[in-house]
């Protein structure tokens, strides 16, 4: 059975051209770029090239890029740096819909280290109110962190506008752009965004490499202390193969950007519209007019997302659900909860996230398969006879 992979917001296939680029640096050109000899030096040259390639995609300076191990490390580094560089500022502004790499860190800082955090809510389409945002920034706000695009719904946030407001208030602005990089145009030359996180494995580079953009002259405190790698901003011998791969993936992202926004978007729309036509009681979650081109998050009423995933898995179709089964109770995603998606729909949410490696035949196959799966599950569903909300509303009590 062929796998139909529609879970690209979780991770992506390494592009074969990226793999070829990194391959020589495992067994043949394995020098340490910090070494004095030419054997290491030739790797250093490739790291400089990779830095320039990442910078070209983001439209920033190469020395504003720090390579890290992942998006989570970049996010943690950004927030920790802003806090330790401004010890008298003890307030953070973020949103309820961030990735756990930001959200769990903020909860930790609140509970264990006594910081004050404002979590901005959203409307039913997942949008943030800019007036509420402006009012949330205080004189003691050390950093604002708002994602560029949401991993679950694909919603795009107005981070350029938000960065201008933060700059006016003298507050550092960080964006988690892990889902945005490679899918939509980013131009750091025309926005006052101070820091930006990205991750290799979300744009067809391998897992275990990321980057953090830190604007020139922004006070910075390293997270990992040790050797002088990355201009003393991130210690640890460089993940040379991963960095070379990330550079190549960024170069490819520039050439494929139009494709993301035309053919990938067309496939996504065909999938989304096809499912809505074929399946009753299905709704799209998020801001349909302002989303990533590859993502659709659809709730199928009166069924469990995890049941749908299991049935799809048997047909070789990979996607994600917005609910996580913890301690026997299915908790709907924090993103859908922030949007106030009704209980009977929040549980049945499925995220399909496509890439340039998906085909029209794969979309057809999902359109052929999923309606039957949903129909069969609804026959079994305890909700289906009486289509009203079940008694349990615990999930929304938080």
Give me the catalytic one of 60, 250, 325, 392: 325
Q: Which is nearer to ligand PLP, 71 or 322 (CB)?
A: 71
Q: Applying CB under 6 A, which of residues 46, 89, 91, 99 lies at the interface with ligand PLP?
A: 99
Chain residue at closest Cβ approach to ligand PLP: 71
Q: Applying CB under 6 A, which of residues 21, 176, 251, 304 lies at the interface with ligand PLP?
A: 176
Q: Which residues lie closer than 8 Å to 386 by C-beta, 6 or more apart? A: none
Cα separation, 287 vs 384, in Å, equals 28
Site string for ligand PLP, 238-277 (x = CB under 6 A): ----------------------------------------
Q: Contacts with ligand PLP: how many residues (CB under 6 A)?
A: 14
Site string for ligand PLP, 355-374 (x = CB under 6 A): --------------------
Read off the tokens for 337.
């909860």
Distances (CA, A) of 82 to 217, 343, 362: 13, 38, 45
| 12 makes contact with ligand PLP (CB under 6 A) | no
Nearest to 279 by CA among 181, 376, 196, 397: 376
Strand stretches in the chain, DSSP E: 4-5, 65-68, 91-95, 116-120, 141-145, 172-176, 195-199, 210-214, 282-284, 295-300, 317-318, 320-321, 323-326, 329-332, 349-353
Q: Considering only residues 49 through 88, tell me which ones interact with ligand PLP, judged by CB under 6 A.
A: 70-72
Q: Which is nearer to ligand PLP, 43 or 147 (CB)?
A: 147
Residue 71 CB, shortest distance to ligand PLP, in Å, is: 3
Read off the tokens for 9.
């917001």
Is residue 70 part of the annotated active site? The answer reads no
Site string for ligand PLP, 102-131 (x = CB under 6 A): ------------------------------
Q: Reduced to 3 DSSP states, what percent helix, strand and coil does the chain have, rounded to the nearest 5?
A: 45, 15, 40
Cα separation, 174 vs 303, in Å, equals 38
| 101 makes contact with ligand PLP (CB under 6 A) | yes
Query: What residues form DSSP beta bridges with 68?
Result: 210
Tell me which residues touch ligand PLP (CB under 6 A): 70-72, 99, 101, 147, 151, 176, 178-179, 199, 201-202, 210
């Amino acid at each position: 059975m062929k796998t139909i992979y529609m879970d690209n917001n979780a991770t992506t296939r390494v592009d074969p051209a990226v793999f070829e680029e990194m391959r020589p640096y495992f067994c043949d050109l394995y020098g340490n770029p910090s070494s004095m000899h030419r054997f290491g030096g030739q790797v250093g040259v490739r790291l400089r090239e990779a830095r320039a390639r990442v910078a070209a995609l983001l439209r920033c300076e190469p020395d504003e890029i720090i390579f890290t191990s992942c998006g989570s490390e970049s996010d943690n580094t950004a927030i920790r740096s802003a806090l330790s560089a401004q010890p008298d500022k003890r307030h953070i502004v973020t949103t309820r819909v961030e990735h756990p790499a930001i959200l769990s860190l903020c909860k930790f800082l609140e509970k264990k280290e006594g910081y004050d955090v404002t979590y901005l809510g959203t409307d039913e389409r997942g949008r943030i109110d800019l007036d509420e945002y402006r009012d949330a920034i205080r004189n003691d706000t050390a950093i604002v962190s708002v994602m560029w695009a949401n991993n679950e719904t694909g919603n795009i946030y107005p981070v350029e506008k938000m960065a201008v407001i933060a700059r006016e208030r003298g507050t550092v602005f960080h964006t988690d752009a892990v889902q945005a990089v490679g899918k939509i145009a980013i131009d750091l030359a025309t926005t006052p965004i101070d820091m930006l996180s990205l991750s290799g494995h979300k744009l067809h580079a391998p897992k275990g490499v990321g980057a953090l953009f830190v604007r020139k002259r922004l006070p910075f405190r390293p997270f990992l202390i040790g050797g002088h790698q990355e201009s003393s901003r991130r210690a640890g011998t460089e993940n040379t193969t991963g960095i070379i791969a990330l550079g190549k993936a960024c170069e490819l992202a520039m050439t494929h950007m139009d494709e993301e926004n035309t053919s990938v978007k067309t496939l996504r729309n065909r999938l989304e519209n096809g499912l809505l036509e074929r399946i009753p009681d299905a709704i799209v979650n998020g801001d349909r007019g302002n989303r990533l081109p590859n993502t659709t998050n659809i709730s199928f009423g009166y069924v469990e997302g995890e049941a749908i995933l299991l049935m799809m898995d048997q047909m070789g179709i990979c996607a994600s659900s917005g609910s996580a089964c913890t301690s026997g109770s299915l908790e709907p995603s924090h993103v859908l909860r922030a949007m106030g998606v009704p209980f009977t729909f929040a549980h049945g949410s499925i995220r399909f996230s496509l890439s340039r490696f998906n085909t029209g035949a794969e979309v057809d196959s999902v359109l052929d398969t999923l309606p039957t799966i949903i129909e069969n599950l609804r026959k079994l569903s305890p909700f289906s006879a009486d289509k009203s909300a079940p008694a349990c509303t615990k999930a929304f009590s938080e």
